[in-house]
Amino acid sequence: MLVVIDMQARLLAHLDGGERLGERVGTLLRAANLLDVPVVVTEQNSRGLGGTAGSLLEPVRGANIIEKHTFDATLEPAFVDALPPAPATLWVAGAEAHVCVLLTVLGLLRLGYRVELVADAVASRRAADRAVALERARQDCARLTTVETAIFGWLGSYRHPRFRDALALVK
């Protein structure tokens, strides 16, 4: 399952590399849709911050969108209910790396999930905050990965019937 944290336009505009983050998360979402990887999306206080940015969700069939008011999404019962049973592997991307992403990753680890934090698909307002968040997640046993590695992991083999379509997303 792909977990996308708080990709709201009002947040992205203030992030270091926010535009690039949108591109990377968009690639993950298109690949998840192509390869039938389930997706759950969180939105932090959408009344105040608005919904998920622009066209990010357009290519995704059946994304489960969860409104949250906590920084750690695992404290929201609707979020936990949307997850597969632990110890499933969850790929996590989004914003901000040092707040909602990190706290959710730590919560998922506490619940027994295997977490793949997509390092090139997370951002914070300051690069130093992002760097510390990645290191903290790694220290607490999240595995760091990249968009491309996640997609090839979902494929499993070049013999996958959607290999060429997925390859086009990363080339």
Tally of domains in the chain: 1
Q: The CATH number of the domain where 97 resides is what? A: 3.40.50.850
Q: Is the pLDDT of residue 118 over 90?
A: yes
Two tokens, residue 169: 């997303």
User: DSSP character for 85?
Assistant: P
The model's confidence at residue 13, banded by pLDDT at 50, 70 and 90, is confident
Which range of residues forms the domain containing residue 89?
A: 2-170
Does the pLDDT value for residue 131 go beyond 80?
A: yes
DSSP symbols for 96-163: -IIIIIHHHHHHHHHTT-EEEEEEEEEE-SSHHHHHHHHHHHHHTTPEEE-HHHHHHHHH-STTSTTH
Share of the chain above pLDDT 90, in %: 83
Q: How do residues 60-79 score in pLDDT, each as one tens digit? A: 777 899 999 999 999 999 99
pLDDT at 50: 80
3-state secondary structure string across 23-60:
HHHHHHHHHHHHCCCCEEEEEECHHHHCCECCCCCCCC
* pTM of the shown model: 0.95
List all residues 6 or more positions away from 87 whose beta carbon is below 8 Å from its beta carbon. 112, 113, 114
Mean pLDDT, range 28-47, rounded to an integer: 94
- Average pLDDT of span 115-125: 98
